[in-house]
Amino acid sequence: MAEIISGTETSKKIQAELKDEVTQLKSKGITPGLSTILVGEDEASKVYIGQKIKVCEKLGITSFHHKLPANTIESDLLNLINTLNNDPKVHGILCQLPLPKHINTDKMLLAISPDKDVDGFHLLNMGKLLSKKSMKEIEEEKMYLPCTPHGIIQLLRRANIPLSGAEAVVVGRSNIVGKPVALLLMAENSTVTICHTGTKNMAEVTRRADVLIAAIGKPKFITADMVKDGVVVIDVGVNRLPEGLCGDVDFDKVKEKAKAITPVPGGVGPMTIAMLMVNTVKAAKKLSGVR
Ligand code: GUN
What order of strands is seen across the sheet that includes strand 92-95? 62-68, 33-39, 92-95
CA distances (Å), origin 235, targets 171, 230, 238, 250? 10, 16, 9, 10
What's the pLDDT tens digit per position in 206-229? Answer: 999 999 999 999 999 999 999 999
Please, what's the b/e burial string for 33-72 (b: 16 or more CB within 10 A of its CB; e: otherwise)? bbbbbbbbebeebeebbeebbebbeebebbbbebebeeeb
Nearest CA to ligand 1 atom 2: 97
Nearest CA to ligand 1 atom 4: 97
Fold of 29-113: Rossmann fold (3.40.50)
Q: How many Å apart are CA 37 and CA 175, to the nearest integer?
A: 20
Distance 176 CA to ligand 1 centre (A): 7
What's the pLDDT tens digit per position in 9-22? Answer: 999 999 999 999 99
Tell me the H-state helices in 29-73: 43-59
Q: Which of the listed residues 38, 45, 94, 238 should we mutate to test ligand 1's pocket, taking the one with most ligand atoms within 8 A of CB?
A: 94
Nearest CA to ligand 1 atom 8: 96
What's the pLDDT tens digit per position in 166-183? Answer: 999 999 999 999 999 999
Assigned superfamily of 145-269: NAD(P)-binding Rossmann-like Domain (3.40.50.720)
Q: What is the pLDDT of residue 142?
A: 85
Distance 219 CA to ligand 1 centre (A): 19
Extents of the domains making up the chain? 29-113, 145-269
Please, what's the b/e burial string for 1-17 (b: 16 or more CB within 10 A of its CB; e: otherwise)? ebeebbbeebbeebbee
Is it true that 29-113 and 145-269 share their CATH fold? yes
| pTM of the predicted protein model | 0.97
Dihedral of alpha carbons 221, 225, 228, 229, sign: positive
Q: Which residues pair with 194 in a beta bridge?
A: 170
